[in-house]
Every structure is written in C-alpha cells, then in structure tokens.
Amino acid sequence: MPEELSLPIKSDADIVVARQKGRALATDLGFSTTDATLIATAISELARNIVSYARAGQIALKAVMRGSTRGIMVTATDQGPGISNVSQAMQDGFSTSGSLGLGLPGVRRLADEFQIDSKAWEGTKVVFKKWNV
Amino acid sequence: MEVPILKQGDFLIATIQAALTDADLMQLRSALVHQVVRVRSMAVIVDVTALDVMDSFATRTLREIAHMIRLRGAETVIVGIQPEVAMSMVQLGLTLEGVTTCLDLEEGLVYLNQKKAKSTG
C-alpha cells in the first residue's frame, strides 16, 4: 500500500471501496481490529456525506507520524454546496438531507483529531486523524 | 451483490455474505418485505456476521426492515453483530432500538422457536 492514496467518491460503490482501503491501511499501520473498524466506519460516513450532499469528491488516506507514533489521516474533500452552518451541523441530531443526522458529530467522536472547513458554494474539507497509541 | 434469502420452516433467513453497497441494502429491504408474506413466514433473521462495518445507513436500513416486517405481521431478528462493529456503532451513536438482536444464527433460531412454542402451546 502506498503512503498516500486518493480515491474518487462518486457512488455508493465508492463508499465501500474507500472504507475497505482505509481498513487495509489502518491494519498495515498496526491498528487493532477495533480501531481499524472505527476508522473504516468513519470513512464510510465521510464518503456518504460526499455522495449525499456534494455528489462527488475525494477521500485521501495517508500514513502520518507524530514523534514515534504512527497514525492515519483521512481527508474528505468535495466541491459541493458546502455547509452553511458548521456548528449546527456538528450537533447531534441535525440533518438537512433526511438522514439520521448523526454523521459528523459521530465521526468527530471516533477521531483523535478532527477539523472541518466549509464554505457555502465552494465545498467542504474534513480532516480526520487517529493515532495508534 | 444480492443477499440470498432462504426459507427454513416458518422463518426466512437472509445471510449477508460480503460488504454491501447502499443499493444492495435497499434491495434486501425490498426483497424481505415482499417475501415475508408471500411465503407466510412468522419471522425474518438477518445474519450480519460478515459485515465489518455498520454505518448510519446500514443501521437505519436494518431498523427500517424490522419496522416494515412488523407492519407485515412478522418479526425480525438481527444476528451476528461483531464486537468491533458494536463498539463503533455505540461510539457513533447508532442504535437498533426496538429491534431484536441475538448473538448468532443459532441463538436467533432458539429465540424464535421458543416464541413460536409459547404462541402455539
């Protein structure tokens, strides 16, 4: 597996591929099965947000280091409509597409580091990091 | 990938064998809701042992399957949720409230057979 992998996300089949590649990288990096499952689930949610809200985007998977600790960085990018109210979208139970509305707050709970940037009509970028400690 | 649905006595058993796309899950939902009445099943068992990820969509679809099957007069039992999957679901805040779950297929069959014995005995 290369150190960095960029995956196009356009359909529900791409969601499955992204989470499988994410699990494979997490396993290569020495994450436990439990953590690899958390990471794969987070990728699934991020990829689904791309398909549901922006129709198309990318998921980038990267091995990262912090001192001697290995980790995984997942970057979800789209050029979709953006999120007009990020703080509202980060509240449990908030949804605009009729989904469960648990996506982003749930993903943040699975992460060690989580960052979201979104601009209306420009797109959204979510960075998710998990360290193998 | 289509999920095979087998009729075993009074029950339908759907065994998920590989990762499912959203379209596959919706196909499973539709197939179960139609078949449960056609073959006059009392209950449906969905075996998710092979699922290594249950995200919000999968959880919601399973819950919808259980609610639709109940409206069709039968019961749904979800079996085989893996321990790591259960941990991820809890951390994500995903629930299967109102849906019966059992450890594995064997336990699911025991549960349903006991229930059947009670209702007929």
The string of DSSP codes covering A21-66 is: HHHHHHHHTT--HHHHHHHHHHHHHHHHHIIIIIS-EEEEEEEEEE
Query: Does B87 score more than 80 pLDDT?
Result: yes
B53–A44: do the CB atoms touch at under 8 Å? Answer: yes
pTM value is 0.91
A31 interaction partners in chain B (CB closer than 8 Å) = none
ipTM: 0.91
> Do residues A37 and B85 make contact, with C-beta atoms less than 8 angstroms apart?
yes
Q: Total structural domains in chain B?
A: 1
B92 interaction partners in chain A (CB closer than 8 Å) = 41, 45, 102, 106-107, 109-110
| Axis-axis angle for helices B22-38, A12-28 (nearest 10) | 120
- Antiparallel, parallel or unpaired: β B100-102 and B75-79: parallel
Output the six-digit token pair for A56.
């198309």
Q: What share of chain A is helix, strand, coil (3-state, %, to 5)?
A: 40, 30, 30
A109–B85: do the CB atoms touch at under 8 Å? Answer: no
A102–B94: do the CB atoms touch at under 8 Å? Answer: yes
DSSP H helices in chain B:
22-38, 56-71, 83-92, 105-120
Domain with B77, as residue range(s), is 5-120
Output the six-digit token pair for B31.
């197939």
pLDDT of the residue at A68? 94
Mean pLDDT of chain B: 94
A99–B56: do the CB atoms touch at under 8 Å? Answer: yes
How do residues A36-87 score in pLDDT, each as one tens digit?
A: 999 999 999 999 999 988 889 999 999 999 999 999 999 999 998 888 777 7
Structural domains of chain A ordered from first start = 4-131 (3.30.565.10)
CATH of the domain at B13: 3.30.750.24
